[in-house]
Amino acid sequence: MRHKAKKGIIILLSYMGMSLVKLVVWISWLAMAVGAEYVKYKDPKQPVAARIKDLMSKMTLAEKIGQMAQIDRSVATEQILRDYSVGSVLSGGGSEPLPEAKAEDWINMVNAFQNGSLSSRLGIPMIYGIDAIHGHNNVYNATIFPHNVGLGATGDPELVKKIGAATALEVRATGIPYVFAPCIAVCRDPRWGRCYESYSEDHKVVEQMTDIILGLQGDPPSTWRKGVPYVGGKAKVAACAKHFVGDGGTTRGINENNTVIDMHGLLSMYMPAYSQSIIKGVSTVMVSYSSWNGQKMHANRELISGFLKNTLKFKGFVISDWQGIDRITSPPHANYTYSVQAAIQAGIDMVMVPFNLTEFVDDLTYLVDSKVIPMDRIDDAVQRILQVKFTMGLFETPMADFSLVNELGSQAHRDLAREAVRKSLVLLKNGKPGSTPLLPLPKKASKILVAGTHADNLGYQCGGWTINWQGFNGNNSTRGTTILGAIKSTVDQSTEIVFRESPDANFVKSNKFDYAIVVVGEPPYAETAGDSTNLTMIDPGPSAINNVCGTVKCVVVIISGRPIVIEPYVSAIDALVAAWLPGTEGQGVTDVLYGDYRFSGKLPRTWFKTVDQLPMNVGDSHYDPLFPLGFGLKTESGASIVSRSTSSATLRRPGLFIFMVTVTLSFYITGK
């Protein structure tokens, strides 16, 4: 009987044109396909809530705690990611797969880590994060946009949104789906070393600039629920509003210090930009190192769980800063178990560990097993992390490909950065009293002088958070155009250009220059290294100004992340320009110096006379600035100026060229 049955099956298979081996393979595939229908979290057709519920029902405590950890790439391995089900990996400032790594190198690194995550029991993909705060600033050959203070000077939220979209493309070009940006601090004291990361001292300007989130993540549909994270596809990234909250208001501008202000002041000055970010679908929020009225923000349950999550209805995940929970204690890491307890109970969902993974896992496991931290707090954190991962499609496309590699440093993005540079420049002075304005400069001249420490230094021009955490010095760490290079490509071929970083007065007098461009300012810095009590330009900046401007008509271009001491030199200067930290596209500076485009930028910050006045913001009773918030002169564009050649003599003749100067004193009164 068995023999007849077997013979009948073989005859049937033969009739169907299928071998016994093929049948086994087909049945196995069918079984897997049928089985997959019952794994809801792997089915993109299921609602996100159902997928989260299904996945979490399958997760162990160890896997949940693993999702709450973010580790640096330097300590990450495929095995660690697999064994601990690590939720996220990051590149700290300057952390790269190899020097001058190409987009493909970054992709290969990220995918290797992702392979480890996908090989874990449940195959939950990790999310790779990186600081991309003025373009994809860790990466060689990326477009470096002006720092936020310069973007604040543009007053152009639509431009900032375009920059967000361009940044997202360049980040995705390297296989990375998550950025720690934007910084929505309201810097109230320029002595703070992170002031250039703030768009303005005016919280209303900062609120407007949160449109960068729409560029980074995409525009949520009109039906999208407020507070729910949104990331619109593989050309977009998850964003991170930081640093929650009050980081720009610390006493004397000291980084990570204490912000002393009542609840009304906190909510009216520092919180509105977070409300706007949440409305726009921001995926994550990073907590500040600083304290509010003496309480560390990383341990502030009232503001993280109470206000951010419950009042503002934020549904994404809250992440700590780099070793942020360690700094809950003084000295840092003095009682790590307590730090873990305080941070998780406060409402932090993902901890940027970033090195001591096993210590974090062991301590949090102990706290849960001991019932110090309830399981529902762990579940809330993991649900929020998975919400972001599912929403952005990370489960469907966890692996990066090479389809966007040409977006890195593309000409279109460099053109956009150049536009941002020229719109960010603020003209503070144009001509001495009773004399003809100096700008726009003539492209055709006999001989011109370019001087200063910042004229031919791409690193100085870009500032901190560029290639390395603290930035770099010189022209070799990435690709871009210095201001000197831009001048050379802008002026007439017959114009002789002489460059001296620090010319002496005799040299200037003996050369009979038609005019001079002096570019000076601050060195690169980031975070605490940028805290300053004197806010002076680096030497030999002052002597360059005095030696040059005392002899020849000069325009001084200030490269800085904030207002610096300039009042002692203003009377000697013919034209003064605040260029902030413009990034890699130096042609944006010459676009306006030479009149191809007009000056249009407005001061996003009050420019003080002396540091003794600080802190001083618009609306203060002692407000007596050198240049007030919103100040900025204008010039006509070159399209309305007759092409002209000049010498030092003709430059002084009024009426040789036609232009208009408009002085606008705009005071944005903050709603305290």
Q: Would you call 532 helix, strand, or coil by DSSP?
A: coil
Q: Is 667 exposed, middle or buried (0-12, 13-18, 19+ CB in 10 A)?
A: middle
Is residue 321 flagged as an active site residue?
yes
Element (H, E) at 71: strand 69-72
- Rg of the chain, C-alpha, whole Å: 29
Asked whether the beta carbons of 422 and 490 are under 8 A apart, the reply is no
How many CB atoms are closer than 10 A to CB 57?
9
Question: Which residue of the set 96, 131, 321, 636 is catalytic?
Answer: 321
Chain-centroid distance of CA 288 in Å reads: 15
DSSP structural state of residue 249: G
Q: 242: which strand partners?
A: 183, 286
Its sign, for the CA torsion 357, 309, 215, 669, is negative
Paired tokens of 671: 């709603």
**3-state SS class at 169:** helix
Is residue 562 within 8 A of residue 555, CB to CB? The reply is: no
Burial of 37 (0-12, 13-18, 19+ CB in 10 A): exposed
The catalytic position among 527, 574, 585, 636 is 527
Angstrom distance (rounded) from CA 256 to CA 90: 22
For residue 427, the cross-strand partners are: 577, 633
In the annotation, is 396 catalytic?
no
Q: Tokens 């159902």, residue?
A: 50
Q: Measure the CA angle with vertex 517, ends 433 and 153; round to 5°.
A: 75
Determine how β-strand 240-244 pairs with β-strand 258-259.
unpaired
Residue for token digits 């050649």? 645
> Look-up: residue for tokens 């929505």?
184
Whole-angstrom distance, CA of residue 325 vs CA of residue 353: 8
The C-alpha angle 604, 671, 254, rounded to 5 degrees, equals 55
Locate 264 and state its tokens.
Answer: 């009304």
Instruction: Tell me how far apart the alpha carbons of residues 438 and 593 are, in angstroms, rounded to a whole number.
Output: 10
Please, what is the Cα angle at 453 between 447 and 457, to 5 degrees?
95
Distance of CA 150 to CAs 209, 388, 412, 542, 560, Å?
12, 31, 20, 23, 10
331, 384, 308, 321: which is closest to 351 by C-alpha?
Answer: 321
The rounded distance, in Å, linking the Cα atoms of 100 and 501 is: 28
Q: Which residues, other chains included, contact 553 with Cβ-Cβ below 8 Å and sequence gap of 6+?
A: 438, 514, 515, 516, 574, 648, 651
The phi and psi torsions of 499 (rounded to 5 degrees) equal: -110, 125
Residues whose CB is less than 8 angstroms from the CB of residue 427 and which lie 6 or more positions away in sequence, other chains included: 439, 575, 576, 577, 592, 599, 601, 632, 633, 634, 635
How far apart CA 80 and CA 75 sit, in angstroms, is 9
Amino acid in the structure at residue 54:
D
Q: Which residues are catalytic?
A: 321, 527
